[in-house]
Amino acid sequence: MTGTEIGGIVSYRWDGQTYSLDAQGYGSQKAIGVDLDPADPSNAVIDNLAPRLVEGGLMAVPVAAGVALLVVGLTRRRRWERRQLRTAPETGRVLDQEFVSRHLRDLRQGNPNGD
């Protein structure tokens, strides 16, 4: 809703009736934003950017933190597996390729024990 301020008093119309409220420190402005409750239009406040930014921040910061935690959690296992693959040759925790080939050949030939 838009009101007009003259001499520190904002006047605005709602549903054919004129209402007013004090607006100290704004000077005379032809258009000033007014937030009101349609159920009680006499209970209005001047629309201000700072409170809207604070309210938005109070909602956006926790949501962004939750999304960041979710991304970190979902990528943690993949990063751990990649790290294990990189360090496996250095630590000797890799199966010998010849053993793997021989064991697979034995399994395919129907000799599960390798005898």
CA atoms of 51 and 64, how far apart (whole Å): 20
Q: Residue 115 has what pLDDT?
A: 57
Instruction: Please tell me the distance from the alpha carbon of residue 46 to that of residue 8, in angstroms, as a whole number.
Output: 12
Cα–Cα distance, 78 to 21 (Å, whole number) = 60
In angstroms, rounded to a whole number, what is the distance separating the alpha carbons of residues 48 and 56? 13
pLDDT band at 28 (very low <50, low <70, confident <90, very high): low
User: Residue-wise over 30-67: b if at least 16 C-beta within 10 A, else e?
Assistant: eebebebeeeebeebebeeeeeeeeeeeeeeeeeeeee
Domain ranges of the chain: 2-47, 49-115
- Whole-prediction pTM value? 0.41
Q: What is the pLDDT of residues 47-104, one digit of tens each?
A: 777 777 888 899 999 999 999 999 998 888 888 887 777 776 666 666 677 887 888 8
Per-residue model confidence as pLDDT tens digits over 5-23: 777 788 888 888 888 888 7
Sheet order of strands, 9-14 included:
17-22, 9-14, 2-6, 29-37, 40-46
